[in-house]
């Protein structure tokens, strides 16, 4: 369990980047027109992503909350969300400014 909200946010961004790289790689190299497997793969990836993000964003705050540390739980969750928002803003600025082209 990661006990640092910034590390949780970085882990979430890393997970997203890895998924995007995987999709880009598979998209370039896969020549499939399978109308059944594509939706199954999409829903499976969506479910996996929800579970991973739930773990990264919610496990530690919920654990703190259940231990009676309500203020710490809210602070941890808020710091995680704020850290992820900053990472997202950096990515958006980089994408729209052509930095990552």
Domain boundaries, the chain: 5-97
Tokens coding 54:
């739930």
User: In the prediction, which pLDDT does 101 show?
Assistant: 65
Work out the angle at residue 43's Cα, subtended by the Cα atoms of residues 38 and 49, and round it to the nearest 5 degrees: 125
Letter string b/e over residues 28-37, b meaning 16 or more CB atoms within 10 A of that residue's CB: eeeeeeeeee
**In this structure, are residues 65 and 59 in contact, taking their beta carbons and an 8 Å threshold?**
no
Q: pLDDT tens across 40-70, in order?
A: 888 999 999 999 999 999 999 999 999 999 9
- The whole-model pTM stands at 0.81
**In this structure, are residues 7 and 59 in contact, taking their beta carbons and an 8 Å threshold?**
no
């Amino acid at each position: 369990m990661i006990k640092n909200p910034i590390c949780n946010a970085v882990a979430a961004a890393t997970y997203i980047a890895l998924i995007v790289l995987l999709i880009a790689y598979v998209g370039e190299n896969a020549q499939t027109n399978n109308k059944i497997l594509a939706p199954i793969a999409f829903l499976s990836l969506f479910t996996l992503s929800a579970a991973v993000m739930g773990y990264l964003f919610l496990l530690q705050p919920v654990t703190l909350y259940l231990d009676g540390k309500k203020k710490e739980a809210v602070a941890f969750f808020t710091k995680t969300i704020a850290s992820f928002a900053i990472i997202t803003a950096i990515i958006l600025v980089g994408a729209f400014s052509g930095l990552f082209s």
